[in-house]
Amino acid sequence: MSIYVNKDTKLVVQGITGSTAKFHTKLMKEYGTDVVAGVTPGKGGETVEGVPVFNTMAEAVTETGANASVIYVPAAVAADAISEAAESKVDLIICITEHIPIGDMIKVKRYLEDKDTVLIGPNCPGVITPDECKIGIMPGYIHRKGHIGVVSRSGTLTYEAVHQLSELGMGQSTAVGIGGDPVNGTSFIDVLKRFNEDPNTHGVIMIGEIGGTQEEEAAKWVKENMKKPVVGFISGVTAPPGKRMGHAGAIISGGKGTAEEKIKVMKAAGIAIADTPSTMGETLVSLMKNRRT
């Protein structure tokens, strides 16, 4: 029935009184997401877009039964917001914020280790299960309900893939942005595992980029476990080594993390690679056709 979020998700918006948060709270509500609370310390008692604001996560969760949180707070305080959300025992935390110091994320990851909560991000666009729940900043209108799972490190490349799929008449089960940071809460494998077990997902598009080894690790897992067809796209074939390409995690260092290496390992694992970003949708269509015949 999709993964991470659905129509039963009750969302808290951390940082709700900020302009970005306000803008997206409106859009999320318009999409149909059940936004039940907001948290901005010191603004408890106010209302934003019809949503009650609380001073703390603990209060927000107790009063509204919220089970998920989205974070739109500035980088300097975002790690604390993630920790507060984890402590409040929501099931899912989605952190949109970019530029969180790596040192902060290292500590947060450690703090989350003994807690059941799942963190997606930071520096991600969010998660959407079309027609049920949109958490984040993605444009809702490009999505269609369907059976293709999308998982990506890049926000806007996710929209490209979704747009292509929708135009081809292939809706999405859930689209997940895991974000562009080097230390984050959810990896490709975490998402692929869930897609693998989701009866509503019949095929997957995974979008990676230079830096780190998440794609290679995911490829290994796919080879051994994945029951469904996977198409991959890796951006950064033309990226020069040693330069951080926008995302904190998009850097080729010490010869490691190149797009070529990722593509090689993914191909060897049976993942069909789209050779340009505009053929992700059609590559999946032919892959799924071929597997049926």
Separation between Cα atoms, residue 118 and residue 88, nearest integer Å: 12
Let me know if 18 is exposed, middle or buried by CB neighbors in 10 A (0-12, 13-18, 19+). Answer: middle
In the DSSP assignment, the letter for residue 141 is: G
Candidates 24, 143, 147, 247; catalytic one:
247
From 235, 265, 266, 269, residue interacting with other proteins (rule: CB under 8 A): 235
The helix (H) or strand (E) run that includes residue 175 is: strand 172-177
Judged by CB under 8 A, does residue 109 bind other proteins? Answer: yes
Residues from 25 through 54 that contact other proteins (CB under 8 A) = none
Query: Token pair of 152, please?
Result: 């990506």
- Which residues, 6 or more positions from 46, have their beta carbon under 8 angstroms from its beta carbon? 17, 40, 53
Shorter beta-carbon distance to other proteins: residue 157 or 219: 157
Shortest Å, Cβ 27 to other proteins: 8
Q: Which of 63, 80, 260, 275 binds other proteins (CB under 8 A)?
A: 275
Query: At 178, phi and psi to the nearest 5?
Result: -90, -10
- Least distance (Å) from other proteins to the CB of residue 244? 7
DSSP state of 143: -
Structure letter (DSSP) for residue 213: S
CB of 154 to other proteins, least distance (A): 2
Query: Hey, which residues are catalytic here?
Result: 247
Residues that bind other proteins in the complex, under the rule CB under 8 A:
20, 24, 75-76, 98-103, 105-107, 109-110, 125, 137-139, 142, 152-157, 159-160, 163, 180, 182-183, 207, 209-214, 217, 233, 235-240, 243-250, 254-255, 275-279
